[in-house]
Chains A and B, each alone.
Chain A
Amino acid sequence: MSEATLAVLPRSIALVGNPNCGKTALFNQLTGSRQKVANYAGVTVERKEGRLVLPSGRKLRVLDLPGAYSLNATSPDEAVTRDVCLGQHPEETQPDLLLCVADATNLRLHLRFVLELKRLGRPMVLALNMVDAAKRRGIRIDREKLEQALGFPVVETVAVRRRGAADLISALDEHALTMPAVPPASAEQDLHAETRRLIASAVSMPQPTSPMDEAIDRWVLHPVWGLAILAATMLLVFQAVYAWAGPFQDAIETSLGWAGTQLAAHMPDGLLRSLLVEGVIAGTGGVLVFLPQILILFFFILVLEESGYLPRAAFLLDRFMVSTGLSGRAFIPLLSSFACAVPGIMATRSIPDPRDRLLTILVAPLMTCSARLPVYALLIGAFIPDQRVFGLFNLQGLTLFALYAAGIVSAMLVALVARRFGRRAGEQALLLEIPAWRIPNPRDVALGLRERGAIFLRRVGTIILALSVLLWFLSSFPTPPADWTRPAIEYSFAGHIGRAMEVLFAPIGFNWQICVALIPGLAAREVAVSGLAAVYAVSAGEAGVEHALATALGSQWSLATALSLLAWYVFAPQCLATLAVIRRETGSLKATLGATALLTGMAYAVALIVYRLTGLLT
């Protein structure tokens, strides 16, 4: 085999490998917290770059490419990987070295891709990942033989173990770039034949799958027990999100309340104090309170994802989801959307079929995100009596359940209608790998959690802060005239805007105060609560706390108005961040406007029905 060794050492490397090869864990191991997460323009596939400082002091740029089965791309993710490897990506220079990652327990599949990449004739290193799991299963891999046959360095790694990438790091530090000879192009069949030959000569494997995995899957994928386990898991997750977050939320509320009181006590009464206490602290604080819930939900999603449970859930639910016009793969994004539609819509990238993906994006905002909770909690607390029904259920809890169910059922209806009337654009594929079970690695979960927490906090620190200040401004200026008699807010900009909107919203029972609160609610749904607090607290002249607000609403709104607002909240796409992410993910203004119009229309129609029906019955 003829090889050309270049004198230069690599400066940029790209991690490339099949999905589920432990590539991201290895990326985390190599780069630690020195990561930058962004998006590729247009297609918005996630781009992860980090830095690795080698023992020699040399710095490497490390790119984590999306997982791919083949250079024959079938999804936007795989297309990015293909283009970067081929050096054809418009935003990315061709990496100096391809660091192929292969799961040592799944070489029959992963080595084929390695051989396909080898045909590119680029410098390569192969990391045999999860060698510990392979050893436990009695799989023996002759590393040297593999290295000889492949013609580039092969190192063993255990990405989830401390110093598990030591061999890889020293290989990166020592080896100059080697250009492997490009084998003559051959048919797909030959790649498989070559893979088999390699495995026959260098790998001995007692069993094709782990007996432990098979035992677990007999339960988890069982038609009856599997569904029961899935239901129990979902129940646990939601129980945790709402119960465990409580103490943390109380702590955040208490400390923000303390900060507000301190400011009020130590600052002279005036505009600046009003801005800080009623604008900044009340506005952003009302949103910050959701951080514990979002982190707990993402913790579970990450753990389920890392352990390999999510694809199994997709397997169990695929047929059911198909019957509603969606795909089993939509389960993961839709589950995420219960925390927030933004990461949910971003997670639709794992759906290769464009039509399935678009439909999932369209219905994702109908899943009850945690930002709706404060609105639901406020209105349920104020209008639904805290009483038992049928001796077992709590009426308030039932109402909350009904609101969640309304979102899910309407999502199914939208998907059904879209499938009935939409064009059938070819067949959609499932072809979903069910990976081996894995114990989630705390570091990978922590890094994923930090990333998502940072996204949320950035939103609080920017959009929500700005809108809180804007709302404060709108509801504080212009100041009422000297001889004012009505509540001060009625003279402000907010009062005028609210009155103008009231014409449109009066048929569904919204008063001008609700209309005012809907405006900042566009930034984030939960801000509507602080919006209402501001509107009512300002007009009532007292510091708005949730109980005072609930009392105020209870005395001023009819039940019909409250239920109508709840119905509006189930459907209305009033979250600019969601609309922005739909625009970005679909790359189509038409799709974004269509989704907005559809969801707003549904919200208005259902709120109208609810308002009229409740009006008739009460």
Chain B
Amino acid sequence: MTLLSELAPGSQAFVTDVQARTASDPVAVRLRDLGFVPGEPVKLVAYGPFGADPMLVQVGFTRFALRRSEAERVRVSSEEPSHV
């Protein structure tokens, strides 16, 4: 189990879950709305120029700029889940 923020550039993985930091973590809720849901393929595309932050992440057909702290909420696995 790795975090999305730990992926190597260009590597592909699948979302396992999004961890909420508080009971009603708005960032976690929004991440799920945007498509970070179990089984969804994600790819780390690029880093920002300063301190490799933010990160450019592809989920589904869409690319998002996520700060490290946001990407750390998403747990990923390199293996495609069998049941989706």
| Chain A residues at the B interface, C-beta cutoff of 8 Å | 69-70, 72, 74, 105-109, 112, 188-189, 192-193, 196, 205, 208-209, 217, 221, 223-224, 226-227, 311, 314-316, 318-320, 322-323, 328, 427, 429-434
A227 in contact with B49 (CB, 8 Å)? yes
A226 in contact with B49 (CB, 8 Å)? yes
A208 in contact with B56 (CB, 8 Å)? no
B65 in contact with A430 (CB, 8 Å)? yes
Contact A72 to B33, CB < 8 A, known contacts A226-B49, A431-B70: yes
B63 in contact with A316 (CB, 8 Å)? no
- Name 19 interchain pairs, CB-CB below 8 A, sorted by A: A69-B30, A72-B29, A72-B33, A106-B62, A108-B61, A189-B38, A192-B35, A193-B84, A209-B63, A221-B56, A223-B49, A319-B49, A323-B50, A429-B26, A429-B67, A430-B54, A431-B30, A433-B65, A434-B63
Q: How far is the CA of A193 from the CA of B81 in the complex (A)?
A: 14
Taking a contact as CB atoms closer than 8 A, the residue among A109, A193, A319 that contacts B34 in the complex is: A109
B7 interfacial contact with A, CB 8 Å: no
Q: How far is the CA of A432 from the CA of B64 in the complex (A)?
A: 5
Q: How far is the CA of A106 from the CA of B61 in the complex (A)?
A: 6
- List the B residue with the shortest CB-CB distance to A223: B49
Q: How far is the CA of A395 from the CA of B80 in the complex (A)?
A: 63
Q: How many A-B residue pairs have CB under 8 A?
A: 110
Taking a contact as CB atoms closer than 8 A, the residue among A74, A112, A209, A432 that contacts B65 in the complex is: A432
B64 in contact with A433 (CB, 8 Å)? yes
Q: How far is the CA of A434 from the CA of B59 in the complex (A)?
A: 11
Nearest CB on A from B2, distance (A): 20
- B39-69 contact mask (Cβ, 8 Å, vs A): 1 or 0: 0100001111111011010101111111101
Which residues of B lie under 8 Å from residue A196 when comparing CB positions? 84
- List the B residue with the shortest CB-CB distance to A323: B50
Which residues of A lie under 8 Å from residue B34 when comparing CB positions? 69, 109, 431, 433
- List the B residue with the shortest CB-CB distance to A109: B62
B37 interfacial contact with A, CB 8 Å: yes
Contacts A72-B30, A311-B65 known; list 16 others, CB within 8 Å. Answer: A69-B30, A109-B60, A109-B61, A188-B37, A192-B37, A221-B56, A223-B48, A315-B65, A319-B49, A319-B50, A430-B66, A430-B70, A431-B31, A431-B34, A432-B54, A433-B62
Q: What 4 A-B pairs have minimum CB-CB distances, sorted nearest first?
A: A108-B60, A223-B49, A319-B50, A70-B33
B48 in contact with A319 (CB, 8 Å)? yes
Q: How far is the CA of A193 from the CA of B32 in the complex (A)?
A: 12
Which residues of A lie under 8 Å from residue B40 when comparing CB positions? 192
B3 interfacial contact with A, CB 8 Å: no
A188 in contact with B33 (CB, 8 Å)? yes
- List the B residue with the shortest CB-CB distance to A106: B61
A427 in contact with B69 (CB, 8 Å)? yes
A107 in contact with B27 (CB, 8 Å)? no
Which residues of A lie under 8 Å from residue B49 when comparing CB positions? 223-224, 226-227, 316, 319
B62 in contact with A427 (CB, 8 Å)? no
A205 in contact with B33 (CB, 8 Å)? no
A109 in contact with B63 (CB, 8 Å)? no
A208 in contact with B65 (CB, 8 Å)? no
- List the B residue with the shortest CB-CB distance to A312: B65
Contact A431 to B60, CB < 8 A, known contacts A109-B35, A224-B49: no
Which residues of B lie under 8 Å from residue A223 when comparing CB positions? 47-49
- List the B residue with the shortest CB-CB distance to A432: B65
Nearest CB on A from B74, distance (A): 12
- List the A residue with the shortest CB-CB distance to B33: A70
Which residues of B lie under 8 Å from residue A192 when comparing CB positions? 35, 37, 40
Nearest CB on B from A514, distance (A): 43
Which residues of B lie under 8 Å from residue A427 when comparing CB positions? 21, 27, 69
Nearest CB on B from A1, distance (A): 25
Nearest CB on B from A278, distance (A): 53
- B9-42 contact mask (Cβ, 8 Å, vs A): 1 or 0: 0000000000001000011011111110110100
Q: How far is the CA of A432 from the CA of B30 in the complex (A)?
A: 11
Contact A434 to B84, CB < 8 A, known contacts A192-B35, A316-B49, A318-B53: no
